[in-house]
């Protein structure tokens, strides 16, 4: 494995990563890394309407991209500091695009599942590089906050334009929307993305035996939190429809909630610096639990306003918790490689969450999904708080 202590090499690469144009290219790549999760309610809703898939098949298709992303992003810990970043990103995004094009011509469960896994393989490689690059910027807290803001903007536009397009063109509209943004990300990456990351410095390696306890807690805390988020998020559109709200109104509410949640990702770094990451994550936990309770108490007389309040506030604090979560993950080691395992942690949670939620749904009753979300959120954020406290003591 190549390593170096040559300050000229390190300085040149770090300067390349920290340029503003490089950040402009990193953000759309990181945005596309979470694209399917961002639009998961629309993806689940579209798969559930008139395509002949069972509830369990919908759950597995909802997590298929995450399987591919998990495979490549997990392996990234071995190669992310050694392979040329720009070429990995370009190849990964191209494979993602090809998987989307193929998915437009498939309505068979097994075939479509395979294509989504292939798309996820490309997505995961590009996403892992983007996370490593963002972690190398001067202020990772703010960079990750900008990443979440970009993902939120992508989601807002999607929730505003996709329902009408899906109604007119069906499932293909979903993939056309993804590919339009992928083409933009490819063009920016070809010109502006850093050619390579900083090499591993001599004596600074990722050794799990040295960081094992903190690394395991950070990883599994993130997994469990994302089981909670993806389970509730994946069926949020179905919860609104189940409360007899019009599907178009539900998509509009989710879309505006996504726009408002930009404020969460913007506020999080400042709040974390003011009161600490632990307090910021605990605040997010308490409020998320209140939103789950609200979704579980919807009745016909108050369904609309309860749904609006619960979904909007949930999305705000989902965006809010991500920057301190990722900064906590990044603080576990100094080699700059452990951060790429943040993506696999997200994806394991996203692989498990929707199928697990689907298993508990009976007669369109979603309360068990909300209980699942609440329990997992408490455990996940509890572990992350423990990591933050121990990491601060260690430093």
Give me the pLDDT at residue 300, please. Answer: 62
Give me the pLDDT at residue 88, please. Answer: 94
Give me the pLDDT at residue 229, please. Answer: 94
The series of mean pLDDT values per 10 residues for the chain, 395 residues long, is: 44 55 89 88 82 82 88 82 89 96 91 95 92 81 81 86 87 93 95 74 47 79 94 88 83 86 85 91 96 86 88 92 85 67 82 86 82 96 91 67
Distance CA 133, CA 23 (A): 8
Distance CA 233, CA 69 (A): 19
Give me the pLDDT at residue 320, please. Answer: 92
Identify the CA nearest to 288 among candidates 255, 265, 321: 321
Distance CA 280, CA 316 (A): 13
Distance CA 177, CA 47 (A): 16
Q: Please, what are the domains in the chain?
A: 10-197+207-394 (1.20.1250.20)
Give me the pLDDT at residue 351, please. Answer: 84
Give me the pLDDT at residue 202, please. Answer: 44
Q: How far is CA 45 from CA 33, 55, 248, 317, 320, in A?
A: 21, 11, 11, 23, 26
Is the whole-model pTM more than 0.85?
no
Contact 358, 223 (CB under 8 A): no
Q: Which residues of 12-27 are buried (b: 16+ CB within 10 A; e: fewer)?
A: ebeebbbeeebbebbb
Q: Name the DSSP class of 195.
A: S
Q: What phi and psi values does residue 166 have, to the nearest 5 degrees?
A: -65, -40
Give me the pLDDT at residue 86, please. Answer: 92
Helices (H) and strands (E) in the chain, counts: 17, 0
């Amino acid at each position: 494995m190549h390593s170096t202590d040559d300050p000229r090499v390190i300085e040149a690469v770090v300067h390349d990563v920290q340029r503003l144009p490089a950040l402009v290219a990193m953000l759309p790549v990181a945005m596309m890394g979470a694209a399917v999760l961002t639009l998961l309610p629309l993806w689940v809703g579209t798969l559930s309407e008139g395509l002949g898939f069972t509830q369990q098949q919908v759950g597995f298709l909802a997590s298929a991209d995450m399987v591919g992303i998990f495979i490549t992003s997990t392996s990234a810990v071995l190669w992310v500091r050694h392979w040329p970043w720009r070429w990995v990103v370009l190849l990964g995004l191209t494979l993602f695009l090809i998987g989307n094009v193929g998915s437009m011509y498939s309505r068979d469960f097994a075939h479509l599942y395979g294509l989504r896994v292939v798309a996820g393989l490309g997505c995961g490689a590009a996403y892992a590089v983007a996370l490593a690059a963002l972690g190398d910027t001067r202020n990772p807290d703010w960079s990750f906050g900008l990443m979440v803001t970009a993902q939120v903007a992508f989601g807002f536009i999607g929730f505003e334009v996709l329902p009408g397009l899906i109604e007119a063109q069906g499932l293909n509209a979903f993939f056309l929307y993804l590919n339009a943004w992928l083409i933009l990300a490819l063009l920016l990456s070809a010109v502006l993305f850093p050619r390579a990351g900083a090499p591993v410095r001599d004596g600074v390696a990722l050794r799990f035996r040295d960081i094992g306890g903190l690394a395991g807690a950070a990883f599994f805390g993130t997994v469990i939190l994302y089981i909670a988020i993806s389970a509730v998020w994946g069926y949020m559109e179905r919860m609104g429809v189940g409360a007899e709200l019009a599907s178009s109104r539900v998509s509009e509410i989710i879309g505006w909630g996504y726009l408002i949640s930009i404020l969460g990702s913007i506020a999080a770094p400042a709040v974390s610096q003011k009161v600490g990451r632990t307090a910021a994550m605990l605040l997010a936990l308490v409020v998320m639990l209140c939103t789950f309770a609200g979704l579980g108490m919807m009745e016909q007389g108050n369904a609309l306003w309860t749904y609006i309040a619960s979904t909007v506030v949930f999305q705000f604090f989902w965006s809010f918790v991500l920057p301190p979560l990722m900064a906590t993950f990044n603080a576990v080691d100094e080699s700059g490689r452990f951060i790429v395992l943040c993506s696999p942690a997200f994806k394991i949670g996203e692989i498990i969450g929707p199928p697990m939620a689907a298993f508990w749904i009976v007669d369109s009753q979603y309360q068990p999904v909300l209980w699942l979300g609440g329990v997992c959120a408490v455990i996940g954020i509890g572990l992350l708080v423990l990591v933050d406290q121990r990491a601060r003591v260690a430093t």
